[in-house]
């Protein structure tokens, strides 16, 4: 192992240059720029081959999936999958970035770029750890296949088909994912629950074109106002409770013991949390803390809301339509399809007859939970303790990684969620960054983990 760690140390300057190259590729899945996605996938393919992995790009109905493996034909060792995603969130609004999103910049021990933390930097650390084994001729105690996809940020809808089709090749003893958070630089974590998600878009239409608000305003419904009213019926503005009938069906209550454990360190400091987000005060469903609001309670969010004139100055019109992009975060044991059906019914009942409504279903993912008591979890705990010098905390998180339930259903294995991101990494926000300290520790962790996971 000494050779592996010495290699990681010696080659670090090159690794950093490579990571810079990787994050300079604008692989934004939401905007559907196939050429950019392909370019990024091909960069990754070439890189995996260069470090000694046997790598293939598999086309899908969407963006290609990369599989890069250490597995030879005589493989008899345990086989683990390392999952990651090379797609990134849209960088807009661009004017809020201190340095351009796809021009990686190092400042104060952090690399700033879209995708640096979510998720390129994190899975790149695992790739480098395996490179260190290969290039120092250190035998790996297990076989490892990297599955790195290009559609996580848009719901991974083509990945389950890919897993089903390649079930034999991907048969594995476990999955390792670094695409979650740790509470702070000092506190590593193992995440044992993620929220699920259900997405849809709604459009209300009035006149078949924008019309003069002086000539026609008052005689017809304003679609933007109608949408504002309609969306406002979804949630009680005081209690924060979602008012869709059946929405909370199946939501499981947590034991007092687990709820208490969630608040044990200073992550429970609501004032610090408020100040970090720079809001006048926190909001949330009555009876729950901000930690619970973001982990064990379901939500409904408007992610985008558009209507009418968006240019400079004023334009006196009644807009032809109003549009919203909406997602709901789901917790055990809510089902995306049932929740969507309940919300559709609510909106249909509450929509006024003065406009027409169209609802388009989007992606969905089930919530994820596993008891963090397996031998694999203990193995990860030992490796984390060795590298971080601290015991990991066991946490629930509010984000979603759609493929984790597919890994369980299709391959029959759980995912070890060992995040290297920090809550202030600005994932999905302007000025995303990744701590270089975590890049280094992520590589060391990648190296140590395989020693422990020989169960």
Which residue ranges make up the site for ligand BES (CB under 6 A)? 118-119, 152-153, 155, 179-181, 194, 197, 363, 365, 397, 399-402
**Which residue lies nearer to ligand BES by CB, 131 or 152?**
152
**Shortest Å distance, C-beta 312 to ligand BES:** 32
**Which residue lies nearer to ligand BES by CB, 122 or 145?**
122
**Shortest Å distance, C-beta 157 to ligand BES:** 9
Size of the site for Zn ion (CB under 5 A): 1
**Which residue lies nearer to Zn ion by CB, 118 or 406?**
118
Q: Is 432 in the site for Zn ion (CB under 5 A)?
A: no
The option from Zn ion, ligand BES, none interacting with 401 (CB < 5 to 8 A, set by class) reads ligand BES
Question: Which residue has the CB atom at the shortest distance from ligand BES?
Answer: 399
**Which residue lies nearer to ligand BES by CB, 381 or 425?**
425
Q: Is 118 in the site for Zn ion (CB under 5 A)?
A: yes
The option from Zn ion, ligand BES, none interacting with 445 (CB < 5 to 8 A, set by class) reads none
Look at the block and give the residue holding tokens 């104060």: 108
**Shortest Å distance, C-beta 335 to ligand BES:** 15
The option from ligand BES, Zn ion, none interacting with 392 (CB < 5 to 8 A, set by class) reads none
The option from Zn ion, ligand BES, none interacting with 446 (CB < 5 to 8 A, set by class) reads none
**Shortest Å distance, C-beta 179 to ligand BES:** 4
**Which residue lies nearer to Zn ion by CB, 8 or 404?**
404
The option from ligand BES, Zn ion, none interacting with 365 (CB < 5 to 8 A, set by class) reads ligand BES
119's CB contacts (< 8 A; 6+ apart) are 84, 85, 86, 88, 152, 178, 179
**Which residue lies nearer to Zn ion by CB, 118 or 381?**
118
The number of CA neighbours under 13 Å toward the Cβ of 291 is 18
**Shortest Å distance, C-beta 89 to Zn ion:** 6
**Which residue lies nearer to ligand BES by CB, 118 or 143?**
118
Question: Which residue has the CB atom at the shortest distance from Zn ion?
Answer: 118
Contacting range for Zn ion; rule: CB under 5 A; set: 3-11, 118-126, 233-241, 244-252: 118-126
Contacting range for Zn ion; rule: CB under 5 A; set: 43-51, 116-124, 251-259, 340-348: 116-124
**Shortest Å distance, C-beta 398 to ligand BES:** 6
Strands 79-85 and 174-177: parallel
**Which residue lies nearer to ligand BES by CB, 154 or 436?**
154
Contacting range for Zn ion; rule: CB under 5 A; set: 41-49, 115-123, 265-273, 376-384: 115-123
């Amino acid at each position: 192992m000494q050779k592996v760690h010495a290699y990681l140390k010696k080659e670090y300057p090159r690794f950093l240059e490579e990571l810079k190259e990787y994050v300079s590729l604008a692989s934004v899945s939401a905007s559907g720029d196939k050429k950019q996605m392909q370019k990024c996938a091909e960069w990754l393919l070439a890189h995996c081959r260069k470090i000694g992995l046997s790598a293939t790009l598999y086309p899908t109905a969407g963006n290609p999936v990369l599989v890069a493996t250490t597995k030879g034909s005589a493989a008899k060792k345990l086989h683990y999958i390392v999952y990651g995603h090379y797609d990134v969130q849209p960088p807009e609004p661009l004017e809020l970035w201190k340095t351009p999103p796809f021009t990686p910049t190092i400042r104060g021990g952090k690399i700033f770029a879209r995708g640096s933390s979510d998720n390129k930097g994190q899975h790149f650390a695992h790739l480098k750890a395996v490179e260190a084994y290969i290039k120092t001729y250190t035998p790996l105690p297990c076989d490892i296949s990297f599955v790195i996809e290009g559609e996580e940020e848009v719901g991974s809808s083509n990945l389950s088909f890919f897993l089903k089709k390649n079930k034999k090749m991907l048969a594995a003893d476990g999955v390792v994912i670094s695409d979650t958070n740790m509470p702070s630089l000092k506190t590593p974590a193992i995440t044992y629950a993620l929220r699920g998600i259900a997405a849809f878009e709604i459009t209300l239409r009035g006149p078949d074109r924008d019309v003069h608000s002086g000539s026609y305003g008052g005689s017809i419904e304003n679609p933007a106002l109608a949408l504002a009213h309609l969306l406002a019926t979804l949630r009680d503005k005081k209690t924060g409770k979602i008012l869709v009938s059946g929405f909370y069906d199946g939501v499981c209550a947590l034991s007092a013991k687990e709820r208490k454990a969630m608040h044990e360190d200073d992550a429970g400091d609501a004032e610090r949390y408020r100040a970090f987000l720079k809001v006048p005060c926190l909001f949330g469903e009555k009876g729950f803390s901000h930690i619970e609001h973001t982990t064990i309670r379901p939500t409904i969010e408007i992610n985008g809301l558009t209507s009418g004139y968006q240019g400079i100055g004023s334009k006196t019109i009644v807009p032809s339509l109003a549009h919203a992009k909406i997602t709901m975060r789901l917790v055990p044991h809510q089902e995306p399809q049932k929740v969507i059906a309940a919300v559709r019914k609510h909106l249909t009942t509450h929509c006024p007859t003065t406009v027409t409504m169209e609802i388009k279903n989007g992606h969905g993912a089930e919530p994820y939970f596993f008891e963090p008591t397996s031998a694999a979890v203990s193995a990860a705990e030992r490796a984390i303790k060795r590298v971080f010098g601290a015991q990991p905390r066991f946490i629930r998180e509010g984000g979603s990684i759609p493929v984790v339930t597919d890994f369980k259903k299709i391959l029959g294995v759980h995912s070890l969620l060992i995040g290297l991101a920090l809550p202030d990494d600005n994932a999905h926000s302007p000025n995303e960054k990744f701590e270089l300290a975590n890049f280094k520790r992520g590589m060391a962790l990648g190296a140590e983990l395989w020693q422990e996971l020989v169960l």
